[in-house]
Amino acid sequence: MNAAMKTTLSALALLLAIPACAQQAPAPAAPADADPALWVVKDKDTTIYLFGTIHVLKPGLSWFDEGVKKAFDGAQTLVLEMVEPDAQTAQKIVAAKAFAPTGSTLTEQLPPNYRPAFAKAMGEGGVTAQAYDRMRPWFAAVTLSLLPVQKLGYQAANGPEKVLTEAARAAGKQVVGLETFEGQLGIFDTLSQPAQLQLLESTLDELPTAERTFDRLVTAWSKGDPDGVASEMNDSLKDSPEVAQALLVDRNKRWAAWIAERMKRPGTVFVAVGAGHLAGAQSVQAQLGAYRLRAVRVNY
């Protein structure tokens, strides 16, 4: 799958304000076991766990147990990519960042050969022309990327972020974000117009294979296979350097810097970010080398 599509399907599926209608899949009779990868960075008085997530999952996958649960239970703080804002705040941010109230419509910006597929895909997702023609190209790409996986039953409500946040708040743990919702959307705005349109065109090209690709991604994650995650999410990013730099590399560097700074204070922290950020040559773990820190895989 094209790297741009992979990015929107996985690392950015946490954008919950996207106007898509989801269909909940029935839970299996018995939970399927999953053992996602977990790493730890530690010194004499500070321990930071690094856990890769898939932002949307189907129900019935058992992952919050064994080593993951033990690490989480021992932490005083949960750190996520971002702390989800309330719905009203999120809607205001989306309205300000994701839509262009004036100028040419999005349909007009697309090459003529993409326009029928774009209108068809949006219509099938219940998005009206009035709404999608005012979207910025990146937001249309993210919306279209999420529509098929949501229809298959993948939901943020079943994702690790939601589960971990609820568990942390129930246990009285601090919950903080590495970024804000507004900041995440702002990252897309840094992309040039050609890169945004390429992202949308690639998404349209790859919609027919979205189910197969996302299933492979979840399988690799469930097996604790970071190489498999990297293969599905990151390997082709070299074909979209602007997207890779903004959505993956720059963020990994910022998060590694945050971890290095946090290591100066005692305590135990559980960091949960998209699994693609903890896989491949540009991973957060690799960026930690600049600070002479080493992340070790936790065997459980």
State pLDDT tens for residues 117-156. Answer: 999 999 998 999 999 999 999 999 989 988 888 888 888 8
Residue 249 belongs to some domain of the structure: yes
Domain that holds residue 65: 3-16+32-92+153-197+209-297
Considering the domain boundaries, does residue 160 fall inside one? yes
Q: Output the pLDDT for position 36.
A: 97
Residue 144 belongs to some domain of the structure: no
Which amino acid is present at 38? L
Structure tokens at 63: 């992952």
Q: Report d(CA 254, CA 114) in Å as an integer.
A: 36
| Percent of the chain's residues with pLDDT above 70 | 88
**What was the pLDDT predicted at 204?**
93
Q: Tell me what the pLDDT averaged over the chain comes to.
A: 87
263 falls within a domain: yes
227 inside domain: yes
The beta-strand segments (E) located in the chain are 32-33, 38-42, 46-53, 61-62, 77-82, 174-179, 267-274, 296-297
Q: Lowest-pLDDT range, 20-34, 75-89, 163-177?
A: 20-34
3-state secondary structure of 123: helix
pLDDT given at position 235: 58
The whole-number average pLDDT for the span 284-298 is 98
Give pairs for 96-101: CB < 8 Å, separation 24+: 97/136, 97/139, 97/182, 97/185, 97/186, 97/188, 97/189, 98/135, 98/136, 98/138, 98/139, 98/185, 99/134, 99/135, 99/136, 99/139, 100/134, 100/135, 100/136, 101/134
| CA 149/CA 9 separation, integer angstroms | 8
Q: Is residue 121 part of a domain?
A: no
CA atoms within 13 A on the CB side of 199: 30
Whether the pLDDT of residue 16 is over 80: the answer is no
Look at the chain and report how many structural domains it folds into: 1
Q: What is the pLDDT of residue 284?
A: 98
CA angle 85, 244, 113 (to 5 degrees): 95
Residue 233 has pLDDT above 80, yes or no: no
Does any domain span residue 22? no
Average pLDDT over residues 7-18: 36
Measure the CA–CA gap between 38 and 231, rounded to whole angstroms: 18
Question: Is residue 136 one of the residues assigned to a domain?
Answer: no
* pLDDT(29) > 90: no
